[in-house]
């Protein structure tokens, strides 16, 4: 007689015994696998687990995402969203229910990542944290640049090399952080906190080299975004490659496409600064030289003007002296004598100009051009022609 | 005065000196200040080799810088 379990009331299974057997059979028969379908009846339980069903035209599959797995999924799915779920098929013995334990969930295309990104961006936008007006100008000549990244990552080497090449005098301070995986957001926030409390950096670069979307996801974390926005030190974000734009980029003071580009933005080229100083020195010297030349020219002009004025003044005086001299000469009795007139003078030197001044028999002097003649009055008449009064 | 401020002052001095209406004495004073600032700036640029250090936070929240290779 064949006595298989469950073949007769005597051999009946206990319920729990059977559901456990089914669970073992299912789990053994189905390795972890991907299932596609539409999300239906999504519920987030207070204990953090997610419950929903995956449906298509002909079937339905109850799904659960345990709370600790939800952290790896960027955002909960929307109702009706077409998704791919990876998980383990099993039975929930307590309810005798088929259950798909999901550990990865992806929407078609960018789906959930985009949803999470957009949601956080909307929140930060509303708070003004992504406002371009908030962005601070970077110092043009930092002495100390802090770098928050993995100490053994490629980003760190790239930044170091670029800064050394551009400006060997700038100090570089590394603040190590985990830049991928579950602990990354907390580690980045802690590093930003240290940067703020230390206070020795003029500017900071935060970032990492390229990686998968999941690798870069910590730079889309809300706590990291808020720590960047709150940083007292201006922050340059440099995450992955040119095409990777993260939330960190939106709140940073400057987004650099790559860590190398971030280093270029952070530090000026020493030779260019030196050239600028040379030019400034040249400008100072030129300005002063121009000034001295202008002063000298002004002085020369003044001197010339003064000389000219002095010469003119002397000439004017000379002309006046000559004029006066001419007049004096014209008035001089000597000039009259030169023209043949004589002047009669008595012994006291008084001019004898009228008849009454002459006494008959008295002597007087006649002044002539070249000397004096003693003369005597013979007689006095009134019939002589009048002489002109003046020459 | 930071390097940036020094440079800004230098630009300002150069612009002032380009003006003709500045009294000569003031121009000379500015020129001397400019030369001093230039020396300062050049000295700052010529400072020692930049270091690469790691920021270490001690137990009591005291920070230290450790030389990197």
A156-180 pLDDT, tens digit per residue, is 999 999 999 998 889 999 999 999 8
A21-63 pLDDT, tens digit per residue, is 999 999 999 999 999 999 999 999 999 999 999 999 899 999 9
pLDDT of residue A189: 96
d(CA A160, CA A153): 11
Burial A237-275 (b: 16+ CB within 10 A, else e): bbbbeeebbbbbbbbbbbbbbbbbbbbbbbbbebeebee
Among A157-166, A251-260, A293-302, A377-386, which is the least confidently predicted range?
A377-386
| Residues A210 and A244: beta-carbon distance below 8 Å | yes
More confident residue, A21 or A338: A21
How far does the CA of residue A291 sit from the closest CA of chain B (Å)?
Answer: 8
pLDDT of residue B14: 87
Residue from the list A139, A140, A169 with its beta carbon closest to the beta carbon of B49: A169
A256-271 pLDDT, tens digit per residue, is 999 999 999 999 888 8
Whether the CB of B68 is below 8 Å from some CB of chain A: the reply is yes
Minimal-distance CA residue of chain B relative to A166: B50
Burial zone of A78 (CB within 10 Å; 0-12 exposed, 13-18 middle, 19+ buried): middle
pLDDT of residue A270: 87
pLDDT of residue B1: 75
Residues of chain B found within 8 Å of residue A206, distances taken between Cβ atoms: none
A179-237 pLDDT, tens digit per residue, is 988 889 999 999 999 999 999 999 999 999 888 877 888 999 999 999 999 999 999 99
| Residues A43 and A50: beta-carbon distance below 8 Å | yes
pLDDT of residue A62: 94
Closest CA to A241 of A279, A196, A207: A207
Mean pLDDT of A375-385: 81
pLDDT exceeds cutoff 50 at A391: no
Q: Do A139 and B4 touch (CB under 8 A)?
A: yes
A112-155 pLDDT, tens digit per residue, is 777 788 889 899 999 988 899 999 999 988 989 999 999 998 89
Q: What's the pLDDT band for A73 if we cut at 50, 70, 90?
A: confident
Residue from the list B27, B34, B57 with its beta carbon closest to the beta carbon of A194: B57
CB atoms within 10 A of CB A110: 13
**Arithmetic mean of pLDDT over chain A:** 88
Residues of chain B found within 8 Å of residue A146, distances taken between Cβ atoms: 55
Q: Which residues pair with A87 in a beta bridge?
A: A33, A102
Distances (CA, A) of A71 to A68, A77, A187, A221: 6, 13, 16, 11
State the DSSP H helix or E strand holding residue B9, giving kind and residue range, or none if neither: helix B3-17
A263-296 pLDDT, tens digit per residue, is 999 998 888 888 988 998 898 888 888 888 888 8
State the DSSP H helix or E strand holding residue A166, giving kind and residue range, or none if neither: helix A154-166
Residues of chain B found within 8 Å of residue A273, distances taken between Cβ atoms: 45
Q: Do B42 and A170 touch (CB under 8 A)?
A: no
pLDDT exceeds cutoff 90 at A384: no
d(CA A184, CA A215): 10
Q: Do A277 and B42 touch (CB under 8 A)?
A: yes
In chain B, domain spans: 3-67
ipTM for the complex shown = 0.80
A78-121 pLDDT, tens digit per residue, is 888 889 999 999 998 888 899 999 999 988 766 777 778 888 98
Minimal-distance CA residue of chain A relative to B23: A291
pLDDT exceeds cutoff 50 at A307: yes
pLDDT of residue A61: 94
| Residues A105 and A83: beta-carbon distance below 8 Å | yes
Closest CA to A331 of A383, A283, A390, A290: A390
What is A101-115 written as a DSSP string?
Answer: EEEEEEESTTHHHHH
How far does the CA of residue A168 sit from the closest CA of chain B (Å)?
Answer: 6
Q: Do B53 and A174 touch (CB under 8 A)?
A: yes
Low-confidence ranges of chain B (pLDDT < 70): 47-48, 69
């Amino acid at each position: 007689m064949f006595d298989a379990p469950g073949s007769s009331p005597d051999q009946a299974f206990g319920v729990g015994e059977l559901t456990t057997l089914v669970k073992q059979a299912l789990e053994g028969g189905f390795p972890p696998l991907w299932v596609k379908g539409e999300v239906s009846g999504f519920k987030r339980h207070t204990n953090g687990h997610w419950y929903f069903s995956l449906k298509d035209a002909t079937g339905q599959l109850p799904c659960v995402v345990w709370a600790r797995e939800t952290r790896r999924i960027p955002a909960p799915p929307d109702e009706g969203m077409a998704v791919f779920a990876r998980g383990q098929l099993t039975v929930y013995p307590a309810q005798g229910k088929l259950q798909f334990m999901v550990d990865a969930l992806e929407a078609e295309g960018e789906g959930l990542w985009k949803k999470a990104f957009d949601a956080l961006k909307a929140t930060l936008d509303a708070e003004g944290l992504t406002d371009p007006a908030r962005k601070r100008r970077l110092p043009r000549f930092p002495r100390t640049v802090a770098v928050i990244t993995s100490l053994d990552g490629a980003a760190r080497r790239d930044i170091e090399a670029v800064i050394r090449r551009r400006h060997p005098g700038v100090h570089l301070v590394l603040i190590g952080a985990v830049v991928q995986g579950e602990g990354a957001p907390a580690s980045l926030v802690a590093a930003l906190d240290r940067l703020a409390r230390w206070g020795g950096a003029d500017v900071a670069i935060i970032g990492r080299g390229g990686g998968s979307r999941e690798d870069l996801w910590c730079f889309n974390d809300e706590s990291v975004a808020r720590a960047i926005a709150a940083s007292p030190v201006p922050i340059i974000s440099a995450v992955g490659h040119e095409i990777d734009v993260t939330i960190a980029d939106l709140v940073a003071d400057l987004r650099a496409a790559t860590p190398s580009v971030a280093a270029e933005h952070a530090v000026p080229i020493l030779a260019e600064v030196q050239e600028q100083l040379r030019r400034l020195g040249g400008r100072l010297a030129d300005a002063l030289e121009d000034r001295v030349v202008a002063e000298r020219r002004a002085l020369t002009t003044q001197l010339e003007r003064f000389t000219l004025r002095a010469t003119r003044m002397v000439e004017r005086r000379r002309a006046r002296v000559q004029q006066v001299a001419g007049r004096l000469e014209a008035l001089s009795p000597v000039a009259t004598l030169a023209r043949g007139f004589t002047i009669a003078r008595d012994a006291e030197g008084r001019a004898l100009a009228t008849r009454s001044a002459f006494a008959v028999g008295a002597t007087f002097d006649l002044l002539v051009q070249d000397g004096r003649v003693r003369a005597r009055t013979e007689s006095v008449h009134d019939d002589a022609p009048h002489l002109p009064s003046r020459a | 005065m930071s390097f940036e401020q020094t440079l800004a002052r230098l630009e300002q001095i150069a612009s002032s000196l380009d003006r003709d209406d500045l009294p000569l004495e003031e121009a000379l004073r500015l020129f001397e200040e400019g030369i001093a600032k230039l020396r300062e700036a050049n000295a700052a640029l010529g400072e020692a080799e930049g270091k690469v250090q790691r920021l270490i936070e001690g137990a009591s929240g005291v920070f230290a810088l450790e030389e990197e290779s």
